[in-house]
Structure 1
Amino acid sequence: MEFSWSPEQLQLRQKAKLFSEANLNEDVSQKEQNNLFPLEEWKKCAEFGVLGWPFSKEYGGSGFDPLTTVLMLEGLGYGCKDNGLPFSLNSQLWSTQVAINAFGTEEQKQKYLTRLISGAIGAFGITEEGSGSDTYALEMTAEKVDGGYILNGEKHYITLAPLCEIAVVFATTNIKLAKWGITAFIVDTTMDGFTRSEVRDKVGMRTTPMGNLYLKNCFVPDENRLGREGSGLSLFSSAMESERGYIFASQIGRLEKQLELSIAYANTRMTFGKSIGKNQSISNRIANMRLRLETSKMHLYKVAYLDQHDLPLMKEAAMAKLYISEAFVESSMDFIRIFGAKGVVTEYEVERDLRDGLGGLIYSGTSDIQRNIIAKLDGLL
């Protein structure tokens, strides 16, 4: 695998970094404290093309290959103090949009994918109160009627749900077939019986709205079924490979920023007549941060390489999600320790990374589930 970057790719990363630094850092602390979604910044990202980077120009995208896309997402994360906005963008890119792009009809892509790429907010609804890690134990039903389906049920803990205009949801069309009876649908706010909850408060990623979707006798026409009836399992698995592999691409940029800030502080903070970086306990932490950053890059780039060459990537995507999410928590802990008292005082904007990182151990499949996937593919389970 060749991971050298062309001058054009490096220029695109730098362009994303400069855009992020200049446009995405206004009043981050205030928005984060008040659970405010940065809508204006989201619109700027859409105008900059972020939501279309890996998609065809036919639908308003840029047509970038996976390696170029993740490199640019790194740059976006490096320049943005708010982890929530890049996470929201990645969540929509790699689940809702990927699902419609891969399984949608031409009419669905023209109607919905183009809207999402231009800045409409989309959610990916599979999790229910009783089906988190047990993904396919769904209670939402879809009853076939003339011209479409009647959907009933709730989706919980859904990223972007409180503000979404479009949602891909999964429901059971044939309970006797268990997971083989699950079907995906595209619903939007124009449909009667489709409502959303308020934002649910959480420990981190507070600028990323999370909430519930409610469908009560919601009629969804046949043309909004996504894929064949009963193909929900294949659709979900495909989208999850992308989401697990790429959802923390921007966090790698933040890992790099953490490292740079830590080195600079360790070289200038003086105690006992010398910089704290001269202390082995500090220098070792920074060495570990460097190791996590470089290893995270290798996991991410390998997924993108396999994707770009149409090779299987389920295990590699699980490993990337597992490693990067846990590395971000560990490096955020070191980030706080290096800054000492400043690390736990909110005005210095250091402790936020740790709070934001905790959810990564849960989102898009828990760390335990990722380990199970890896073990199963290695023939152990």
Structure 2
Amino acid sequence: MTFVFGADADTSADSDTDTGADAQADAAEMCRMVEAFARRELGDVPDPFAPAEFRRRWLLAGGQGLVGSVVPTAYGGSGLDPVTAAAVLEALGHGSPDTGFAFSVAAHLFATVMPIVEFGTEEQKRRWLPALCSGERIAAHAITEPEAGSDTLALRTRAVREGDHYVLDGAKAFTTNAPVADVFVVQAATAPGGGFFGLTAFVVEADTPGLTVGPAYDKVGLRGSPTADVRLDGCVVPASHVLGAEGAGASVFAGSMKWERTCLFAAYLGAMRRVLDSTVAHVKEREQFGVPIGGFQAVSHRVVDMTLALESARLLLREAARGLARGSEDEVAPALAKLAVSEAAVRIGLDAVQLRGALGVLSGGDAETLLRDALPARIFSGTNEIQKNNIARALGLGGNRRPGGGR
């Protein structure tokens, strides 16, 4: 099943035209379907991680149009605008406790597939996008390195042109989806020391000789999302696999980050809403001193603070998504959204654990799972400190140096 909604679909409350109302109704129905699908098919986090089970789920998500939601319909996607796509991802996060799987879907879509949409040639789009949208193939973005995380312009992976191909050598770390990926977008330096124009992005097939993937990490959170190192040893990549043009790698990366910092974090909104709902139910039922603990002001105020954090984060993310839909070049809105959602997720996770008492620290509970899944959110897609640097720079503060912000 592929959902088809045009770029003019508006889920915002300020659209009072008949078309806008119809689009809102369509989007709401789609979100209900996605949430029902997530509850039915994407239950508890498989532990230990099982590649076959992951791919089974992935194909199901592809059938729902989730792994290609914002890709134009001409290439097999659903053609959703960013606002609707964010709402759909929130529904996925609300319906399933496997936030890691939702994270993998978003990393595939926003960090890898959308760069091919926005920078790929027509031949590249038709070659790779249909299978990436259907769920037949999985994508990964290989940029972070052991010595280059936030400072993405300091990549040590090299790409040397030899005739009609490039030879890539280097190592990548913390690559989401690497253990199951069929296609990689790899960033490498074609002009070491060349700054913003020294990087080039390549589309590399997973079975390319010289590309190897290490064992999956055993992570504290997002356990449903497979992550590993990637090595490139004399990896020969055709020049026709360059994404954009030689030297355009930083632009490709910046574009992917704008998508990530906006839409990816919508999955956390869904997870927070799910845990907040269960927390409200818990404090209404749990009694101490003969009354439900929700009647104690210290408890009720904490729940109100959790609600405030969630709703404030959602408003900032929605505003960033609207800007992305308009083609805005604003860097502040995505950075604010990323900051607000990631910090709210950690805070709500901590509060949910506290309000459950000893039950909150039992392994597998929804509160402690949210907290573990939320901790990485302050690091990936550019650390929260990097986001503050970006915002400060936009305000004319903190000098002119432009940081990277790796994953």
The interval holding the TM-score normalised by the smaller chain is: over 0.9
Aligned to 2:251: 234
Q: Which residue of 1 aligns with 2:178?
A: 161
Supply the distance in 1 between the matched residues of 2:77 and 2:41 (Cα, whole angstroms).
21
| Amino-acid identity (%) | 36
Report how many residues are paired: 377
- Report how far residue 152 of structure 1 moved: 0.6
Structure 1 outlier segments of 4+, above 4 Å: none
- SS of match in other structure, 1:175: coil
Q: Deviations over 1:260-310 (max 9, x none)?
A: 111111111111010000011111111011101111111111011111112
Instruction: Kindly indicate whether residue 28 of structure 2 is the aligned counterpart of residue 10 of structure 1.
Output: yes
**Other-structure match for 2:117:** 101
From 283, 291, 306, the counterpart of 1:289: 306
Kindly indicate whether residue 67 of structure 2 is the aligned counterpart of residue 58 of structure 1: no
CA distance in structure 2 between the aligned counterparts of 1:170 and 1:345, rounded to whole angstroms: 41
Indicate if the aligned counterparts of 1:83 and 1:356 stay in contact, CA closer than 8 A. Answer: yes
Q: Which residue of 2 aligns with 1:368?
A: 385
Counting only pairs closer than 5 Å after superposition, residues 1-381 of structure 1 correspond to structure 2 as 3-4=12-13, 6-25=24-43, 27-28=44-45, 31-32=46-47, 34-36=48-50, 38-119=54-135, 120-381=137-398
Q: Kindly indicate whether the alpha-carbon contact (under 8 Å) linking 1:148 and 1:222 is maintained by their aligned counterparts in 2.
A: yes
Q: Contact 2:63 / 2:134 at 8 angstroms: preserved in 1?
A: yes
How far the C-alpha of 1:2 sits from its partner, in A, is: 8.0
CA distance in 2, matches of 1:131, 1:75: 34
Unaligned runs of 5+ in 2: 1-9, 14-20, 399-407
Q: CA deviation at 1:88?
A: 0.6
Distance 1:142 1:103 in 2: 19
Kept in 1: contact 2:272–2:370 (CA 8 A): no
Contact 2:174 2:227 in 1 (8 A): yes
> Shift in Å at residue 176 of structure 1?
4.6
The answer as to whether partners of 1:241 and 1:313 remain within 8 angstroms in 2 is no
Q: 1:347 to 1:102 in 2, by over 3 A?
A: closer
Instruction: Report the CA distance shift for 1:349/1:298 in structure 2 as closer, same or farther (over 3 A).
Output: closer
1:84-128 CA-to-partner distances (Å, cap 9, x unmatched) read 000110111111011111000011111112221121111111111
How far has the Cα of 1:319 moved from its partner? Answer: 0.9
| Separation (CA, whole Å) in 1 of partners of 2:252 and 2:273 | 33
Change (3 A) 1:73 1:180: same
CA spacing shift, 1:321–1:347, aligned 2, 3 Å: closer
Deviates most, 253-262 or 344-353: 344-353
Amino acid at match of 1:339: R
What SS class does the counterpart of residue 145 from structure 2 fall into? Answer: coil
Paired residue secondary structure (1:168) = strand
| RMSD of aligned alpha carbons | 1.4
Q: Given residue 25 of structure 2, which amino acid in structure 1 is its aligned partner?
A: P
Secondary structure, aligned partner of 2:236: strand
What TM-score, normalized by structure 1, do the two folds share?
0.96
Gaps of 5+ in 1: none
CA deviations over 1:284-339 (Å, ceiling 9, x no partner): 11101110111111111101111111222311111111110111000001111111
| CA distance in 2: counterparts of 1:202 and 1:21, whole angstroms | 24
Equivalent-residue separation in structure 2 for 1:157 and 1:331 (angstroms): 26
96-105 vs 190-199, which deviates more? 190-199
Could you list the per-position Cα deviations for residues 227-251 of structure 1 after superposition, in whole angstroms to 9, with x for gaps in the alignment? Answer: 1111111111111111111211111
**In 2: Cα distance, 1:270 partner to 1:40 partner:** 42
SS in 1 for 2:152: coil
In the alignment, is the contact (CA less than 8 A) between 1:342 and 1:350 conserved in 2? no
Residues 112 and 185, structure 2, Cα contact 8 Å, conserved in 1: yes
Distance in 2 separating the partners of 1:16 and 1:185: 33
Task: Report SS of the residue matched to 1:376.
Answer: helix
Give TM-score scaled by structure 2 length: 0.90
Deviations 1:167-220 (A, max 9, x none): 001111122523321111000123111111110111111111111111111110
**C-alpha separation in 2, matches of 1:70 and 1:191:** 34
Q: Do the aligned residues in 1 keep the contact of 2:166 with 2:236 (CA within 8 Å)?
A: yes
Give the distance between the partners of 2:28 and 2:334, measured in 1 at CA.
24
Instruction: Kindly state the Cα deviation for residue 347 of structure 1 after the two structures are TM-superposed.
Output: 4.5
Shift of 1:22: 1.0
Instruction: Give, in angstroms, the shift of residue 130 of structure 1.
Output: 0.5
AA paired with 2:122? E
Moved more, 205-214 or 34-43: 34-43
Whole-angstrom CA distance in 1 between matches of 2:284 and 2:248: 56
Amino acid at match of 1:266: V
Once residues 392 and 275 of structure 2 are traced to their aligned partners in structure 1, the CA distance between those partners, rounded to angstroms, is: 32
Q: Name the aligned partner's letter for residue 117 of structure 1.
A: C
